């Protein structure tokens, strides 16, 4: 495994980093779409996120990495493995409400699965195990990337270059949380809850509007234009390449700090209050912008709550809403697809009107 | 290699392509393209993976062969150099199931992809201007990560591979370019153009020197001031991507290593900037004097360096730097200005965007087609190697009836060979292969040819632009492609090659200037050529020409109204013979007989919309396009 550029060493691109962190605090926010200029560290950020995330507990031997606290899920593999009481599972990451007896579990890194271009459908959804089919004529299921991404992240670089039928499939699974395989005589379903992270460059072609809406947050990244930032980008990259180990070590403290905040945020996410007034504000904002459906409000509320949890606040207030409004709503505006003076400024205007800022 | 080294090194005449701006003394004397290309080659050979590669723009011929030969000579003998053919399938490129071996062995056997095979060497991408965006993106991903992740055909592996790319660009027309995804990751853009062989005289780098430089490279130090100078230069030239700047930094290191030094000096940085940054300039750097007034040169330190920045004990700036009291940034920039290609310079000074900055390139539309997508439409016998999907169940089904027969045959063979036969295996042969078939609607590319001349600008250019925008949105919804040709002044220009990207479409529309004469004939010609190329790709083309029909520039560019009309009529006739569906919208203040005449000659529908606003215009066009594409019949010629 190649050395990974530390998350906290990424210069600028605050909105992108924030969106990824929000999604890791509360995966129910939905996916993150990162669109923008080349060379702005989109893949770097996602790969860095993998190294940043705290570990999670998973059932030993489960191909889907099921949560030992919630084995009543869909995974058939785990239902049968109930047995020994979990030993030495006093890790912070373990869920407090864990039953005393459960399947054997261990700490594993949160999966951040890369969906490479050129991946075939059989590897994505899982398929007939070719080896056993060819050699023994047996019908066996070989889990695919969706299984591996369960409870983690699935990253698609150049999402707009991925074939349409694969994108449709991913979105469907991401929305339903389970993967249903009906192919080659197999009939299998397994849990597949993951945060979809897509990135791309709009110049290569755009995503279909109905797909845009399925992503929770949408971030636009731009090449920094001021010299000091650019120098810092190049310098850090250069330092990293000269000696990755030393660079990672130097930033490990920052990363660890961030990791602790993430863990803490997840812990008290459920306690963060969302006052009615804030909900009203969110709804009013969405109405003013004319977003379709309720997904906008929901995402706005969830991401504001996740942000509040991440900041260590007890309740959501306007400042949280303001910060997440653009990424949560940007891609939901009903708009003339050609209007350039884009969504960001419209959202800003609406925020200014609503919060009297 | 005979030749280059023995040729006496005389001054190279006719250094086309390199000139110094406004006669300013070019510090590093303008060098021949070949000499520059050899420098790039040497640096690339030192650090192929770090630098990403070289975009070599040259016709297939002895000059290019000499360059490639020189590259092979410069690389270590063990380094693999492999060609990536144009139509390479994912299986060969990335790896996957080796069907023949799998069937032979009776268990899945993985095939190593070409990108894994070139680990430590160089991948030559032939005809890079024609590769699919998807292939480019896959090569780019492997370059970025130094490894290939394979999730294909039941295999899931990670193969490390570190290679460089030489993309051979043979594009002859403006509508072809290497996918930007790939170009961005290649440090050097080398244009050998039509360089004659006799001018390719500079000797290639020496393999020993390169090998020594490779050894030295990891320990080469770079002064922070030089890094900042490179960043400032990139910014001044409008080179946006940080990736390019990082490539320049690496090139500077390679240059120092090649020169046998352990730290980078100004000359290295200058060379790197000249080779990496200059060819990508998208704007003329402002004059140092005027810029100094506008904003002070950034001598202030950037935000506090990260704590681990262990290069504080760097050697002090080198002593053999020229005694020039101007800031380092300016010196580097000056040296680079001299190296901005002549043609580019002219474009930049004229305030035009060079092609490389304007288009994303590649065949982003073309990759969406082929027999790999769409609605499944059954399977057919075929070889799954040529990039098609194996329909496994159908294949097995095809093989099933023959099993008893084949088993018997195999047993006979096994017993005669004295080996034991492996029972229970499904015997699949080549004839059994079925590949998936897909059905897909043919795409329509709508070509807008917009008259942007002075007369039009006065009348209706704004409305025309508005209408085009509305139509673009419509095409976008239908997932059709659009292209935009503008004709004004001296000739016609493809502002937007066929694309689905609204971003690009918007940008080119916004940048569409008005004014100048009306080269109607040139506009029609350009439309015909583009429509033809669209149809060669298997798509259908619809041409929408928006003009007042008052051409006043002849084909040869002379302002001669009568001649211009005659030329336009002739061009229109040629267009009709091609059978392109067309619509001519007359936007003159009154319906122009001339415009109608041209429409008739073109076999186009004529629509006079003197006072329509953009919405009405787009509505009318939509109607016509719908009827035209709905009844896809060849139009009978209707020549006068």
Task: Check which CATH number belongs to the domain holding A122 and give it.
Answer: 3.40.50.300
Question: Which pTM does this prediction carry?
Answer: 0.69
Tell me, what's the pLDDT at A151? 87
Which ranges of chain B have pLDDT less than 50? Answer: 1-29, 288-323, 347-371, 630-640
User: How many Å lie between the alpha carbon of B161 and the closest alpha carbon of chain A?
Assistant: 11
B89-119 confidence digits (pLDDT tens): 777 888 877 766 766 676 777 888 899 999 9
Please indicate, yes or no, whether residues A288 and A351 belong to a single structural domain of this protein.
yes
d(CA B539, CA B521): 25
Q: What is the DSSP string of A24-85?
A: HH-GGG-EEEEEE-TTSSHHHHHHHHHHHSPPEEEETT-TT---GGGTTSS-HHHHTT--SB
- Residue A101: inside a domain, yes or no? no
Hey, are the CB atoms on A232 and B303 less than 8 Å from each other? yes
User: How many Å lie between the alpha carbon of B150 and the closest alpha carbon of chain A?
Assistant: 7
- Residue A98: inside a domain, yes or no? no
Nearest by CB to residue A231, choosing from B231, B244, B307, is B231
Please indicate, yes or no, whether residues A200 and A275 belong to a single structural domain of this protein.
no
B504 touching A (Cβ < 8 Å): yes
d(CA B571, CA B25): 47
- Residue A261: inside a domain, yes or no? no
Count CA atoms within 13 Å of residue B535 on its CB side.
15
A40 chain-B contacts, CB cut-off 8 A:
242
Please indicate, yes or no, whether residues A215 and A275 belong to a single structural domain of this protein.
no
Nearest by CB to residue A203, choosing from B309, B360, B470, is B360
**Catalytic-labelled residue, pool A214, A295, A302, A346:** A295
Please indicate, yes or no, whether residues A169 and A22 belong to a single structural domain of this protein.
yes
Hey, are the CB atoms on A237 and B242 less than 8 Å from each other? yes
- Residue A166: inside a domain, yes or no? yes
Tell me, what's the pLDDT at B113? 87
Is A104 a known active-site residue?
no
- Residue A79: inside a domain, yes or no? no
Tell me, what's the pLDDT at B175? 53
Please indicate, yes or no, whether residues A310 and A201 belong to a single structural domain of this protein.
no
d(CA B608, CA B621): 11
Please indicate, yes or no, whether residues A277 and A192 belong to a single structural domain of this protein.
no
Please indicate, yes or no, whether residues A158 and A41 belong to a single structural domain of this protein.
yes
Q: Looking at A221, A237, A262, which one is the last position of a domain?
A: A221
- Residue A243: inside a domain, yes or no? no
Please indicate, yes or no, whether residues A214 and A275 belong to a single structural domain of this protein.
no
Please indicate, yes or no, whether residues A189 and A307 belong to a single structural domain of this protein.
no
A232 chain-B contacts, CB cut-off 8 A:
302-303, 305
d(CA B265, CA B400): 71
User: How many Å lie between the alpha carbon of B246 and the closest alpha carbon of chain A?
Assistant: 6
Q: Looking at A205, A221, A237, which one is the last position of a domain?
A: A221
CATH for A347: 1.10.8.80
Instruction: Using the Cα atoms of residue B553, residue B558, residue B563 and residue B567 in order, give the sign of their dihedral.
Output: negative
Tell me, what's the pLDDT at B44? 93
Please indicate, yes or no, whether residues A36 and A124 belong to a single structural domain of this protein.
yes
Hey, are the CB atoms on A116 and B303 less than 8 Å from each other? no
- Residue A85: inside a domain, yes or no? no
In B440-567, DSSP assigns E strands to 444-451, 481-488, 491-499, 540-547
Q: Measuring CA to CA, which residue among B80, B562, B28 is closest to residue B275?
A: B28
Q: Looking at A159, A188, A221, which one is the last position of a domain?
A: A221
- Residue A72: inside a domain, yes or no? no
A8 touching B (Cβ < 8 Å): no
List A residues 158-197 in contact with B (Cβ-Cβ < 8 A). Answer: 158, 161, 163-165, 184-185
d(CA B140, CA B124): 13
Say whether pLDDT at A44 is over 70: yes
Q: Which residue of A has its CA nearest to B364?
A: A204
A41 chain-B contacts, CB cut-off 8 A:
242
Nearest by CB to residue A157, choosing from B141, B153, B246, is B141
Nearest by CB to residue B302, choosing from A9, A231, A241, is A231
> How many domains is chain A built from?
2
Q: Provide the residue range defining the domain that includes A331.
A: 270-355
Please indicate, yes or no, whether residues A162 and A28 belong to a single structural domain of this protein.
yes
Note whether B111 and B95 are within 8 A (CB): yes
B504 chain-A contacts, CB cut-off 8 A:
203
Hey, are the CB atoms on A120 and B153 less than 8 Å from each other? yes
A142-196 confidence digits (pLDDT tens): 888 888 888 889 998 888 777 767 777 887 888 788 888 876 667 888 888 888 8
Tell me, what's the pLDDT at B20? 37
Please indicate, yes or no, whether residues A166 and A283 belong to a single structural domain of this protein.
no
A225 touching B (Cβ < 8 Å): yes
Q: Which residue(s) pair with B54 in the sheet?
A: B166, B188
User: How many Å lie between the alpha carbon of A238 and the closest alpha carbon of chain B?
Assistant: 7
Higher pLDDT, B393 or A306: A306
């Amino acid at each position: 495994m190649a050395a990974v550029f530390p998350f906290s060493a990424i210069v600028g691109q605050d909105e992108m980093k924030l969106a990824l962190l929000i999604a890791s605090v509360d995966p129910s926010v939905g996916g993150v779409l990162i669109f923008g200029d080349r060379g702005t560290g989109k893949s770097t950020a996602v790969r860095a996120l993998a190294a940043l995330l705290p570990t999670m507990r998973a059932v030993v031997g489960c191909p889907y990495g099921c949560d030992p606290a919630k084995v009543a899920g869909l995974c058939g593999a785990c239902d049968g493995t109930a047995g020994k009481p979990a030993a030495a599972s006093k890790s912070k990451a373990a869920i407090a409400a864990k039953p005393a007896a459960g399947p054997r579990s261990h700490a594993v890194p949160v999966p951040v699965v890369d969906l490479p271009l050129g991946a075939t459908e059989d590897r994505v959804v899982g398929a007939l195990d070719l080896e056993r089919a060819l050699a023994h004529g047996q019908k066996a299921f070989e889990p695919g990337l969706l299984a591996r991404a369960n409870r983690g992240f699935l990253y698609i670089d150049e999402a707009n270059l991925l074939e349409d039928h694969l994108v449709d499939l991913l979105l469907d699974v991401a929305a339903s949380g389970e993967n249903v395989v009906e192919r080659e005589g197999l009939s299998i379903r397994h849990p597949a809850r993951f945060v979809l992270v897509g990135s791309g460059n709009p110049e290569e072609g755009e995503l279909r509007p109905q797909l845009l809406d399925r992503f929770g947050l949408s971030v636009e990244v731009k090449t920094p234009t001021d010299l000091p930032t650019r120098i810092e980008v190049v310098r850090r990259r250069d330092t990293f390449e000269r000696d990755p180990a030393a660079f990672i070590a130097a930033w490990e403290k920052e990363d660890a700090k961030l990791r602790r905040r993430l863990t803490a945020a997840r812990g008290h996410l459920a306690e963060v209050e969302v006052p009615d007034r804030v909900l009203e504000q969110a709804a009013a904002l969405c109405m003013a912008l004319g977003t379709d459906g309720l997904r906008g409000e929901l995402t706005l509320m969830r991401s504001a709550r996740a942000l509040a949890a991440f900041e260590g606040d007890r309740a959501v207030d306007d400042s949280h809403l303001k910060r997440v409004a653009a990424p949560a709503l940007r891609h939901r505006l009903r708009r003339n697809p050609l209007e350039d003076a884009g969504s960001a400024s419209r959202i800003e205007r609406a925020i200014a009107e609503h919060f009297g800022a | 290699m005979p030749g280059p080294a023995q040729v006496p090194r005389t001054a190279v005449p006719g250094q086309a392509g390199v000139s110094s701006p406004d006669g300013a003394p070019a510090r590093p004397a303008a060098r021949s393209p070949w000499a520059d290309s050899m420098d790039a080659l040497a640096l690339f050979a030192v650090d192929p993976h770090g630098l990403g590669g070289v975009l070599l723009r040259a016709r297939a011929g002895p000059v290019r062969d000499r360059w490639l030969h020189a590259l092979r000579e410069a690389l270590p003998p063990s380094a693999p150099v492999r060609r990536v053919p144009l139509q390479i399938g994912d299986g060969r490129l990335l790896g996957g199931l080796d069907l023949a071996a799998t069937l032979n062995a009776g268990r899945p056997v993985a095939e190593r992809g070409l990108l894994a095979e070139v680990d430590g060497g160089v991948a030559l991408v032939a005809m890079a201007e024609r590769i699919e965006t998807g292939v480019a993106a896959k090569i780019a991903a492997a370059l970025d990560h130094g490894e290939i992740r394979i999730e294909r055909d039941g295999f899931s592996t990670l193969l490390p591979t570190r290679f460089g790319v030489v993309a051979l660009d043979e594009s002859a027309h403006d509508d072809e370019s290497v996918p930007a995804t790939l170009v961005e990751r290649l440090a050097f853009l080398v244009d050998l153009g039509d360089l004659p062989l006799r001018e390719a005289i500079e000797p290639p780098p020496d393999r020993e020197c390169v090998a020594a430089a490779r050894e030295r490279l990891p320990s080469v130090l770079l002064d922070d001031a030089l890094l900042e100078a490179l960043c400032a230069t990139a910014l001044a030239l409008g080179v946006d991507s940080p990736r390019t700047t990082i490539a320049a930094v690496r090139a500077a290191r390679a240059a120092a290593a090649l020169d046998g030094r352990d730290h980078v000096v100004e000359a290295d940085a200058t060379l790197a900037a000249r080779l990496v940054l200059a060819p990508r300039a998208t704007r003329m750097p402002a004059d140092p004097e005027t810029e100094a007034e506008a904003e002070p040169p950034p001598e202030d330190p950037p935000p506090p360096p990260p704590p681990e920045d262990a290069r504080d004990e760097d050697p002090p700036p080198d002593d053999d730097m020229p005694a020039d009291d101007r800031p380092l940034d300016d010196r580097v920039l000056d040296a680079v200005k001299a190296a901005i290609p002549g043609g580019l310079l002219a474009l930049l000074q004229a305030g035009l965007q060079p092609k490389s900055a304007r288009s994303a390139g590649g065949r982003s539309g073309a990759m969406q087609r082929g027999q790999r997508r769409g609605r499944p439409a059954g399977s057919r016998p075929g070889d799954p190697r040529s990039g098609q999907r194996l329909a496994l169940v159908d294949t097995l089904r095809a093989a099933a009836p023959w099993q008893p027969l084949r088993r018997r045959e195999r047993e006979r063979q096994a017993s005669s060979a004295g080996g034991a036969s492996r029972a229970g295996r499904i015997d699949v042969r080549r004839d059994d292969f079925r590949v998936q078939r897909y059905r897909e609607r043919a795409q329509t590319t709508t070509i807008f040819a917009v008259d942007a001349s002075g007369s039009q600008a006065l009348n209706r250019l704004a409305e025309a632009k508005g209408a085009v925008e509305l139509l673009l949105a419509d095409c976008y919804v239908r997932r059709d492609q659009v292209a935009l040709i503008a004709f004004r002044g001296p000739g016609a220009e493809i502002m937007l090659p066929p694309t689905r990207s609204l971003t690009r479409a918007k940008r080119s529309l916004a940048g569409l200037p008005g004014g100048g004469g009306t080269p109607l004939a040139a506009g029609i010609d350009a439309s015909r050529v583009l429509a033809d190329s669209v149809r060669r790709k298997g798509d259908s083309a619809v041409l929408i020409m928006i003009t007042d029909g008052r051409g006043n520039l002849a084909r040869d560019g002379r302002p001669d109204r009568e001649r211009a009309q005659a030329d336009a009529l002739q061009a229109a006739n040629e267009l009709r013979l091609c059978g392109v569906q067309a619509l001519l919208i007359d936007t003159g203040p009154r319906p122009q007989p001339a415009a109608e005449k041209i429409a008739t000659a073109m076999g186009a529908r004529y629509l006079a919309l003197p006072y329509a606003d953009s919405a009405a215009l787009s509505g009318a066009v939509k109607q016509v396009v719908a009827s035209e594409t709905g009844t896809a019949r060849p139009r009978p010629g209707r020549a006068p």
